[in-house]
């Protein structure tokens, strides 16, 4: 009996200590797996929170650029080379969209969307002012109404175009198509309407 190790059955010869340890290990496996799964879910949750925060920042970037540009224009209105500023704003909008479409960096995407808002407000402010100032009094209301309809409908038409082309070209292809189209139209209109492109002051003759 002196040769029997501790934890071994006196009659059966089974190592009961090792058996008990194995049973405890088997019993603890579900708990270990549950803890591991919990850690995985917590890691995924943290990743989702990070993605949501970045998406929120990207959604804010154009508005931030637009608001800051509007404040700057309110304090320092554009008084010279308004035609160039207007077409430059449209071109900046298009180029920024191209950069955003190709970017794989969060901060580059944020900067591109910020500049997109800058270019958008710059061109919109000048276009609206030119429409108001250049339209004769007798038809200013009708022209403004037609202009508002086209501007309002352009958002819905743009969403339809984006949805239709995304099925064929994918998200990046759709963004690039719209962005390149914007730059091409800005360059084409610069050539087709040189008087507008070379417009110096908002009010003609000043």
Chain center to CA of 189:
27
CA dist 177 and 30 (Å) reads 53
pLDDT, position 64: 95
**% of residues, the chain, pLDDT over 90:** 37
Encode pLDDT of 2-25 as tens digits.
444 445 444 555 556 666 666 666
DSSP 161-175: HHHHHHHHHHHHHHH
pLDDT, position 29: 63
Fold of domain 61-197: Growth Hormone; Chain: A; (1.20.1250)
Least confident of 33-37, 110-114, 140-144, 155-159: 33-37
* 161 in Cβ contact with 153 (< 8 Å): no
> Two tokens at 67?
């608001």
**Residue 88 confidence class, pLDDT cut points 50, 70, 90:** very high
Contacts of 173 (CB under 8 A, 6+ apart): 165, 166
Contacts of 113 (CB under 8 A, 6+ apart): 58, 61, 62, 65, 96, 100
Encode pLDDT of 69-86 as tens digits.
999 999 998 888 999 999
Mean pLDDT of 92-110: 93
pLDDT, position 171: 85
Encode pLDDT of 131-187 as tens digits.
888 888 888 888 888 888 888 888 788 888 888 888 888 888 888 998 999 999 999
**Residue 48 confidence class, pLDDT cut points 50, 70, 90:** low
Mean pLDDT of 92-120: 94
Mean pLDDT of 85-113: 94
pLDDT, position 26: 60
Q: Which of 108, 98, 114 is CA-nearest to residue 60?
A: 114
């Amino acid at each position: 009996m002196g040769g029997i190790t501790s934890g071994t059955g006196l009659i059966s010869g089974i190592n009961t200590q090792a058996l008990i340890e194995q049973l405890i290990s088997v019993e603890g496996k579900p708990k270990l797996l549950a803890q591991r799964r919990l850690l995985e879910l917590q890691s995924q949750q943290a990743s989702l929170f990070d993605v949501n925060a970045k998406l929120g920042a990207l959604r804010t970037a154009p508005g931030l650029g637009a608001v800051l540009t509007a404040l700057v224009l309110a304090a320092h209105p554009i008084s010279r080379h308004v035609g160039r500023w207007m077409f430059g704003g449209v071109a900046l909008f298009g180029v920024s969209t191209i950069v955003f479409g190709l970017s794989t960096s969060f901060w580059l995407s944020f900067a591109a969307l910020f500049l997109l808002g800058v270019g958008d407000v710059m061109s919109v402010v000048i276009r609206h002012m030119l429409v108001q100032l250049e339209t004769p009094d007798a038809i200013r209301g009708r022209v403004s109404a037609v202009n508002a309809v086209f501007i309002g409908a352009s958002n819905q038409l743009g969403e339809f175009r984006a949805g239709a082309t995304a099925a064929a070209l994918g998200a990046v292809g759709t963004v690039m198509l719209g962005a390149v189209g914007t730059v091409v139209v800005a360059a084409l209109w610069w050539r087709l309407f040189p008087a507008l492109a070379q417009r110096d002051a908002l009010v003609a003759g000043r």
